Structure 1
Amino acid sequence: MTEKAGGVRGESVHQGKYARVERERRFLLAAPPPPAAVTVTRTITDRYLTGTRLRLRRADRSDGGCELKLTQKVPAARPGAVQGLITNTYLSPAEYDVLARLPATVLSKIRFSVPPLGVDVFDGRLQGLVLAEAEFTTDEEAQLFVPPADCVAEVTDDIRFTGGRLVETTRRQLLQSLAEYGLQPATR
């Protein structure tokens, strides 16, 4: 059985002609990575287009490069590393500008590449949230992955720590969620 948009619990997710299976695990960290461990830094602005499963992303690299893309994520209706299906379309600046006019909620973060992890450090109302993720090509790789030593908790199955939810999260909600994992970021 294949999983259609929205999915059915227990059914498998299969890669399609354009969509690929997204496998990732997410972890809470107490602090950003040390600068010496970082290989690439990107400033990411995600625009979650209102009323859709679409995300418009602008990722500005520290070397001056920029990546623009439109992503659709269809979540899997089951726990674990298989997050669902993901489809990316890379955009020109003109295409990005047209889509950026659509109504959206915005999430900003700095992503530090610390292979094999991407570590996101959030700002604004999400200040104090440090979230690491690792992506995998197979289920076996995902299952065998050993979390980083500085991992406070794995939150792969905690929907509150997905971008689609974080974009709607208030400061109060974030602090409550982090407290459940024993984290208390500085209040502002």
Structure 2
Amino acid sequence: MMDKAGGVEGQSVRPGTYSRVERERRFLLASPPNLSVVSVTRVITDRYVTGTRLRLRRADFAGGRCELKLTQKVPAPLSGAIQGLITNTYLSPAEYEALASLPAMLLSKTRFSVPPLGVDVFDGRLRGLVLAEAEFTTDEEVQSFVPPAECVAEVTDDARFTGGRLVQASRQELLGWLAEYGIRPED
């Protein structure tokens, strides 16, 4: 059962050696970035493990490199750029396969690195969603960040545009959410 802060009831995680505070701001874009400004591209498949705060990620890079990791995100109870606590564990292929057998909801996207942003272009029922993220190490960096002109709207405080919520969204829900921000993707 989930608690009001988005965590699993009766469990807690504290910042420390293994977890860190995650600071990020999220923005909607009307279209994918121009490929001439992209430094790295990877195809990401996220598996949100049912009943947990765990996400299993497979990121496939050009050239055949693959990155596998298990992430736990514990949301912050407040709004703003501090998203909560995040813990990452990098996995071997065998570890990934063992965890991939757990029941999960899937989300797929292509991530384009356009420093200082990571731009996610979603697939499947979420096609037409282009979401950019900027990550920060300090509160000062968060406050001084000026989003690029191509950002249509900031959605940092709109929980509908988090991976944990998007993985559950229907096509119709997404189209309605985007329309609220003046974005109408082609079908």
Q: Which residue of 1 aligns with 2:163?
A: 163
Which 5+ residue runs of structure 2 have no aligned equivalent?
A: 7-12
Q: Which residue of 2 aligns with 1:33?
A: 33
Q: Matched residues in 2 for 1:63 and 1:114: separation? A: 19
Q: Matched residues in 2 for 1:159 and 1:167: separation? A: 12
**Which whole-Å deviations, capped at 9, do the CAs of 1:27-46 have from their partners, x for residues lacking one?**
00000000100000000000
Which 5+ residue runs of structure 1 have no aligned equivalent?
A: 8-12
Q: Which residue of 2 aligns with 1:132?
A: 132
Q: Which residue of 2 aligns with 1:81?
A: 81
Identity %: 75
Deviation at 1:89, TM superposition (A): 0.4
Deviation at 1:14, TM superposition (A): 6.8
After superposition, the CA RMSD in angstroms is 1.4
Contact 1:14 1:21 in 2 (8 A): no
Q: Which residue of 2 aligns with 1:18?
A: 18
> What TM-score does the superposition give when structure 1 sets the normalisation length?
0.92
Describe how 1:2-151 pairs up with structure 2 within 5 A: 6=5, 15-151=15-151
SS in 2 for 1:174: helix
Q: Matched residues in 1 for 2:30 and 2:100: separation? A: 33
Q: Matched residues in 1 for 2:151 and 2:79: separation? A: 19
**Which whole-Å deviations, capped at 9, do the CAs of 1:87-123 have from their partners, x for residues lacking one?**
0000000000000000000000000000110000001
Q: Matched residues in 2 for 1:127 and 1:14: separation? A: 36
Which stretches of structure 1, 4 residues or more, deviate above 4 A after TM superposition?
none
Deviation at 1:63, TM superposition (A): 2.5
Which amino acid in 2 is paired with 1:153?
A
Q: Matched residues in 2 for 1:63 and 1:140: separation? A: 37
SS in 2 for 1:26: strand
Q: Which residue of 2 aligns with 1:10?
A: none
> What TM-score does the superposition give when structure 2 sets the normalisation length?
0.92
Q: Matched residues in 2 for 1:14 and 1:80: separation? A: 19
Deviation at 1:175, TM superposition (A): 0.3
